[in-house]
Each structure stands twice: as C-alpha cells, then as structure tokens.
C-alpha cells in the first residue's frame, strides 16, 4: 500500500516537474552578417561571386598537377593537422558524453562484507553465568538502480548546447588549419619557384659576364684593350659569383620549410624544380567581394561558435542556482550466504524522489554566472574584432593585387628597356665605340631589372594565394564559374 502511494506521488511529481520545466539563460542568436562590400577601386577587374568555401580545391586554379599533389600530401600527412583532427574527435566524443546525462542512468553493484557484530552496543552484556560471544557473519549484496535527472531548469540541455557549439568551434578551427596549411604549401612552392628563377637569372648573367671577360682579353691581345678593362670585367664576374651561394641557401631553406609542411625530411622531398612560368594566374582578379564571402571564413565562423558556447555557459551557470530533482529506484538482494541471494525473501528496494536546492554557497554560484556573462561579452568583442580584421585583410589584398598588376607591367617594360640597352652597349663595345664599363653598367641594370621582375611576379602569385586563403577559397569571377565543376570538392573535414 505504501509502495503504491509512493509510486503515485513520484509519478505526480514527475508530471508536474516536466510540465513546469524550462531552460534558463539567454538563447543564442547568430550575429547579423556584415553588410558592406570588401573592395578596392571602382572599376577594372570584376566583382567576385561566391564559391564553395573551404571545400573548394582552390589551389588547382594555378594549373599545376605537381602543386596539387604536394597540397594533398600535406593535408594527409602534416602533423599539426593530425593534432587538429584529434582535437575535433575529442570534441565530438564530449557531445556524446554530455548527451548521455539526459538519459536515465543505470548502475549495477555487488558487494561482499565480513562483519563482527558488537552485541554490547545493543545492550547485551556477557557474564560468567551467561557468556555471549559477538557473532561474526558474512553479508552478500547484489543489486542495481535507475536514476533520472528531470533537468528542471535546463542545465543538461544548456550543457549539450555548449558541447555542440564547442564542437563546431573545433570543426571551424580544423577547417582553418587545413586552409592555412594548403596556403602555406602553395606560397612555399611559389617561394621555391622564385628562388629557382633568381638562380637561373644569376646563371645567365654569369655566362654573360664570362663572355665579357673573354672579349676584353681578346681586345687586349689585339692591342685595342687595356689591362684595366680586363680587371674590371673580372671583378664584376667575381662579385656576381659571390651572390650565388646566398640564392642557393634561400632555395635550401625553402625546400626545408616545404618538407616540414609535408611532415617529412628534406631528403625525402624529391626534386623541386619549379619556375613561376609553370603556374597559371586568374585572367583577372576581383576588385570587390561580397561580405557574405568574407563571412564564410573559418576563423569568423569559429568565433561565432565560441560566442554560442559562451552564451550556453551562462545558461549552465544560471541553472546551477535553481533546484534540481532526481527520480530513481534501487533494488538489491542481500543474504548471509551466496545461495540465499536467489531467495525472493532476500530482496529489497528503494523508490525515491530527491530535491536538491542551493541555499548558501558563499557567493560561488553568483560569481560563476557573472563570470560566464563576462566571458560572453569577451566573445562578442572577439567576434567583432575578427570580422573587422578579416575585412581589413581582404581589402588590403585586393589593393595589393591591383598594385601588383601595375607594377608587373612597369617592370616588364623596365626589363625590356634594360635588355635593349645591354645589347646595344655590347655591340658598341665589340666594335670599339665604348669601353667595358658601359657594358658592365648595362649588365648590372639588366640583372637588377630581371631580379626585380621575379620578385614582382612572386609577390603577385603569393597575393593571389593569400586572397584565396583570406576568403576560404571561395571567390571566383563570372568567367571562372565554369571551372568549378572541374575543380571539384576538397578533402572532407572530419
């Protein structure tokens, strides 16, 4: 009778609690997407359309199978990415762990005891006429129980919401890591290509210097040249040779860094005979990008997820300040012998409803709630700063690309002029109309123009890659849209 009454009471309490249950704390609302355009200039180029985000294999736009293979290899083998994927897997398991708290908790237990009972504690005394020995006995217990947290004020629900937001933040962080590694590989390949081009230009200059030295020696033997001209030409040759080791060191450092990105040693890297002429560039670069494209950057989405997590944490801290109700039942079999455990007379049970309400915790709960609110304000500020920095970075890159285009035209013209001057000065020297110093000066101007052109070209390739990274690989001009299907999707994130 009493068991039925208790059962009815618990059932009624559960129904009332569930009906009155609520989720305390603020509900998260995603920040409004930026509305401004990120652009530079008013005409020229074109306005980009949305691409496919970080899953777009943007590096294939440079038209190099070798580059594509290196990026894919880095994504599969880079140790930093492996650590990022493991962190993401940990966050996924935390969701499962938190979700499990909202389900009934079932436990089993077994216990054995050896007990010496003190009869004197119960008023029994021993005397010579009536000696009493304290009995010693064994007790075996087998049982289990089920408990359920009604989550009256949504603590478990807010915890699950927070865990999911944390997982999304880790997922965005992993996407950002993939995007960053791909960008670093591409830019490192361009740096190696530029180093190879500088070495090629240097070798071409050295060959020209040697021809000049040989020519001055022939002139001197023919009686129309001087020893001073020979020494001047030889000095220029020696000076230019002295610059070759520094260029070779740049190439070696670039190879070492590329190997690090691939997760291998430089000895395993293989040949890296890249040249900038091997890579393609977009026919045009955008002068404006829609704000929604910048908003798809993983770092912005990560900041948004962290803001969501911080908002849910306020709900968890708030729920801790309210009562908590647990329902449960336990059952067991107890006997002084193992065989007695199967006897129905040895069974026992406990049906309970437990209410826990915080009364005084020394201000801890209030401080935790205020701390969570402060963390949320910090997350808002961080999100806003991340958005501002993203727009600033993209705007600066768009400006840089426009500058690169103009600088490249100017430098190509400078190389053309320096090359013609070099040819004319050499012809003039060969027929005896000018001295060797004119040839040497023309060669020096041509060399500087060639090296500067390599630097401008490398900067242009690098800035295009940086723009792809800054927009999560998602921009394309209208004439590029037909390429999207050929590009395909990238490595799926875990």
With tokens 């023309």, the residue in question is: 442
Alpha helices in 222-297 (DSSP H): 227-262, 291-295
- What is the overall mean pLDDT for the chain? 81
**Which whole-number Å values give the CA distances from 444 to 289, 419, 422, in the listed order?**
42, 11, 9
**Which whole-number Å values give the CA distances from 434 to 192, 225, 323, 420, 445, in the listed order?**
39, 11, 99, 16, 17
For position 33, what pLDDT does the model report? 65
- The tokens describing 222, both together, are 């023919």
Decide if pLDDT at 141 tops 50.
yes
Strand partners, 332: 143, 348
> Nearest-CA neighbor of 491 among 179, 187, 260, 259?
179
Q: Is residue 1 part of a domain?
A: no
Residue 112: give the domain boundaries: 105-150+331-357
Decide if pLDDT at 425 tops 60.
yes
Same domain? For 346 and 451 the reply is no
Report the percentage of the chain scoring pLDDT > 90.
Answer: 37
Same domain? For 344 and 473 the reply is no
- The tokens describing 473, both together, are 């690989």
248-267 pLDDT per residue, tens: 999 999 999 999 999 888 88
Cβ atoms of 321 and 366 within 8 Å: the answer is: yes
**Residue 170, C-beta contacts closer than 8 angstroms, at least 6 positions apart:** 87, 88, 90, 91
Same domain? For 313 and 253 the reply is yes
Same domain? For 242 and 212 the reply is yes
Q: Is residue 126 part of a domain?
A: yes
pLDDT confidence bin for 23, thresholds 50/70/90:
confident
Same domain? For 347 and 405 the reply is no
CATH number at residue 121: 2.20.200
Range of weakest confidence among 30-34, 46-50, 84-88, 330-334: 46-50
Same domain? For 214 and 230 the reply is yes
Instruction: Measure the CA angle with vertex 345, ends 344 and 349; round to 5°.
Output: 85
Across 161-182, average pLDDT: 92
Same domain? For 304 and 352 the reply is no
Number of domains, the chain: 2
For position 296, what pLDDT does the model report? 81
Whole-number Å distance between alpha carbons of 299 and 470: 10
Whole-number Å distance between alpha carbons of 351 and 262: 61
**Residue 470, C-beta contacts closer than 8 angstroms, at least 6 positions apart:** 294, 297, 390, 393, 394, 397
Same domain? For 46 and 143 the reply is no
With tokens 């947290």, the residue in question is: 149
pLDDT confidence bin for 167, thresholds 50/70/90:
very high
Same domain? For 141 and 65 the reply is no
Q: How many CA atoms lie within 13 A of 344 on its CB side?
A: 0
Across 40-61, average pLDDT: 56
The whole-angstrom distance between residue 430's C-alpha and the CA centroid of its chain comes to: 61
Q: Is residue 16 part of a domain?
A: no
Q: Is residue 437 part of a domain?
A: yes
For position 480, what pLDDT does the model report? 46
Same domain? For 207 and 299 the reply is yes
Q: Is residue 494 part of a domain?
A: no
H or E stretch covering 78: none
pTM for the whole structure: 0.77
Same domain? For 67 and 180 the reply is yes
Q: What is the DSSP string of 477-491?
A: -GGGGGGHHHH-B-P
Same domain? For 389 and 450 the reply is yes
Across 316-328, average pLDDT: 93
For position 478, what pLDDT does the model report? 47
Report the C-alpha dihedral over residues 429, 433, 436, 440, rounded to 10 degrees.
-70
With tokens 């880095």, the residue in question is: 74
Question: Going edge to edge, which strands form the sheet with 136-149?
Answer: 105-116, 136-149, 324-335, 347-356
Q: Is residue 17 part of a domain?
A: no
Decide if pLDDT at 489 tops 50.
no
Q: Is residue 377 part of a domain?
A: yes
Instruction: Measure the CA angle with vertex 258, ends 254 and 264; round to 5°.
Output: 130
Across 159-170, average pLDDT: 94
* 333 φ, ψ (degrees, to nearest 5): -120, 130
- The tokens describing 213, both together, are 């030295």
CATH number at residue 158: 1.20.1600.10
Question: What's the length of the chain?
Answer: 494
275-290 burial, b at 16+ Cβ within 10 Å, e below that, comes to ebeebeebebbbbbbb
- The tokens describing 308, both together, are 């969501």
Q: Is residue 11 part of a domain?
A: no
């Amino acid at each position: 009778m009493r068991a039925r009454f208790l059962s009815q009471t618990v059932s009624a309490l559960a129904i009332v609690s569930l009906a009155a249950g609520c989720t305390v704390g603020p509900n998260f609302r995603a920040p409004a997407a930026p509305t401004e355009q990120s652009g530079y200039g008013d005409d020229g180029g074109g306005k980009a359309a949305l691409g496919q985000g970080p899953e777009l294999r943007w590096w294939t736009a440079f038209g190099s199978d070798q580059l594509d293979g290196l990026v894919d290899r880095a994504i599969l083998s880079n140790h930093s990415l492996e650590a990022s994927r493991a962190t993401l897997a940990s966050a996924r398991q935390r969701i499962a762990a938190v979700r499990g708290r909202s389900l009934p908790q079932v436990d089993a237990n077994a216990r054995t005891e050896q007990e010496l009972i003190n009869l004197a504690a119960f008023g029994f005394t021993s005397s010579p006429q009536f000696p009493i020995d304290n009995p010693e006995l064994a007790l075996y217990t087998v049982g289990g129980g089920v408990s359920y947290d009604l989550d009256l004020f949504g603590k478990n629900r807010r915890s699950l919401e927070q865990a999911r937001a944390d997982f999304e933040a880790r997922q965005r962080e992993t996407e950002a890591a993939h995007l960053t590694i791909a960008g670093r590989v591409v830019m490192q390949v361009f740096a190696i290509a530029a180093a190879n081009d500088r070495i090629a230009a240097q070798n071409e200059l050295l060959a020209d210097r040697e021809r000049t030295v040989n020519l001055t020696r022939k002139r001197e033997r023919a009686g129309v040249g001087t020893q001073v001209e020979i020494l001047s030409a030889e000095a220029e040759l020696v000076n230019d040779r002295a610059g070759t080791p520094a260029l070779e060191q740049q190439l070696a450092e670039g190879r070492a860094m590329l190997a690090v990105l691939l997760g291998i040693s430089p000895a395993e890297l293989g040949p890296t005979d890249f040249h900038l002429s091997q890579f393609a560039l977009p026919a045009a670069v955008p002068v404006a990008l829609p704000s929604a494209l910048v908003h798809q950057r993983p770092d912005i989405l990560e900041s948004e997820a962290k803001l969501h997590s911080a908002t849910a944490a306020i709900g968890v801290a708030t729920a801790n300040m309210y009562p908590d109700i647990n329902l449960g039942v336990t059952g067991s079999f107890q006997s002084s012998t193992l065989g007695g455990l199967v006897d129905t007379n040895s069974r026992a049970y406990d049906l309970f409803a437990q209410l826990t309400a915080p009364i005084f915790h020394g201000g801890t709960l209030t401080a935790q709630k205020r701390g969570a609110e402060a963390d949320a304000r910090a997350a808002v500020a961080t999100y806003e700063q991340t958005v501002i920095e993203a727009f600033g970075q993209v705007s600066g890159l768009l400006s840089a690309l426009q500058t690169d285009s103009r600088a490249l035209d100017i430098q190509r013209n400078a190389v053309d002029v320096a090359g013609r001057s070099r040819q004319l000065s050499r012809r003039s020297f060969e027929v005896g109309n000018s001295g060797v110093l004119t040839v040497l000066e023309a060669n020096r101007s041509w060399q500087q123009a060639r090296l500067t052109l390599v630097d401008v070209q490398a900067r242009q390739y690098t800035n295009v890659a940086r723009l792809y990274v800054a927009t999560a690989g998602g921009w394309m001009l209208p004439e590029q849209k037909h390429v999207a299907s050929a590009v395909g999707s990238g490595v799926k994130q875990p």
